[in-house]
């Protein structure tokens, strides 16, 4: 696991964008694994800037998102479909048919999970997976207790996760209790993984992650990243402050 510590959120976002651009320039048919949440916003802004000012093209890039809330349709402003469209996809030249996000209102959640995992195997492998990290160590929506062999599945969200994400909704009552997420195993199928973390509120999670090499365990799902051989963690000084 490679660790890059930078001054602040801006630097983290720029470095992550630089690494993504480098991959796209080397392979314009890149398959990118994308994350939501506050952390990747700066990365997406920088990628948009790269597209608008330096002509970085996403025309042949495919994207596979980690997760979606169950019960929110694509038009709900807090759905990850809306998040990805508003913050990233509508500003670049990506074909929307090349973007994949689990369906938040499937007829059968089980079928949707199986179908999404099949899509990952068909469209993938993901060449570069971008991740954030939850304060409890979740990656995607793989909450503590998740089986390391898990594929795409339905998860019940922890109260702490619902609280942390409530700022995207009008109130906490609106935050769904369940989501569909790709699993730990699905994430580990990616060729390369970059995890971003910024701010003092992630310091504990970053410390636990970096100390978990010898204690990979389901109570801290991000610890499974130690079992992958190409993971880079890009953090700012605040997130690294207690390591
Ligand atoms: C959310 C997402 C994760 C994200 C994490 C951290 O619940 N499902 O993919 O990495 O929590 O979010 P944030 O970047 O807003 O701190």
Mutate to test the pocket of ligand 1, among 72, 157, 165, 222 (most ligand atoms within 8 A of CB): 165
Domain presence at residue 210: yes
Domain presence at residue 241: no
b/e for 128-157, b at 16 or more Cβ within 10 A?
A: bbbbbbbbbbbbbbbbbebebebbbbbbeb
d(CA 95, CA 11): 29
Domain presence at residue 106: yes
- 9-26 vs 41-54: helix crossing angle, rounded to 10: 50
Known catalytic membership, residue 7: no
Counting the structural domains of the chain, the total is 1
Question: Ligand 1: which residue has its CA nearest to atom 3?
Answer: 140
* Number of Cβ within a 10 Å radius of residue 53: 8
Strand 2-6 and strand 153-156: pairing?
Answer: unpaired
Q: What is the mean pLDDT of residues 31-46?
A: 98
Domain presence at residue 202: yes
- The domain that contains 171 carries what CATH number? 3.40.50.1360
Domain presence at residue 53: yes
User: What is the band of 77 on the pLDDT scale with cuts at 50, 70, 90?
Assistant: very high
Q: Is 143 in the pocket of ligand 1 (CB under 6 A)?
A: no
List the catalytic residue out of 51, 76, 81, 138: 138
Alpha carbon distances (Å) from 227 to 127, 176, 224: 17, 31, 6
Q: What is the DSSP letter of 90?
A: G
Domain presence at residue 243: no
pLDDT digits (tens, 9 = 90+) for 206-227: 999 999 999 999 999 999 999 9
Q: What is the mean pLDDT of residues 11-22?
A: 98
Cα 132 to ligand 1 centre (Å): 6
């Amino acid at each position: 696991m490679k660790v890059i510590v930078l001054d602040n959120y801006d630097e983290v976002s720029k470095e992550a964008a630089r690494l993504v651009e480098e991959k796209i320039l080397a392979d314009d048919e890149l398959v990118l694994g994308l994350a939501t949440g506050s952390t990747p916003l700066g990365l997406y802004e920088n990628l948009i800037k790269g597209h608008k000012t330096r002509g970085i093209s996403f025309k042949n890039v495919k994207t596979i998102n980690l997760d979606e809330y169950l019960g929110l349709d694509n038009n709900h402003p807090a759905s990850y479909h809306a998040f990805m469209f508003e913050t990233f996809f509508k500003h670049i030249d990506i074909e929307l048919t090349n973007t994949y996000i689990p369906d938040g209102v499937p007829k059968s959640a089980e079928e949707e999970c199986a179908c999404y995992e099949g899509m990952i195997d068909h469209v993938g492998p993901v060449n570069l997976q971008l991740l954030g990290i939850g304060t409890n160590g979740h990656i995607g929506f793989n909450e503590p207790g998740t089986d390391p062999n898990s594929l795409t599945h339905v998860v019940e969200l922890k109260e702490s996760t619902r609280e942390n994400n409530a700022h995207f909704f009008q109130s906490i009552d609106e935050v769904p209790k369940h989501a569909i997420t790709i699993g730990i195993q699905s994430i580990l199928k990616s060729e390369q993984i970059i995890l971003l973390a910024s701010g003092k509120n992630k310091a504990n999670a970053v410390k636990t992650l970096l100390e978990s090499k010898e204690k990979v365990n389901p109570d801290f799902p991000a610890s499974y990243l130690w079992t992958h051989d190409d993971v880079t963690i890009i953090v700012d000084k605040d997130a690294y402050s207690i390591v």
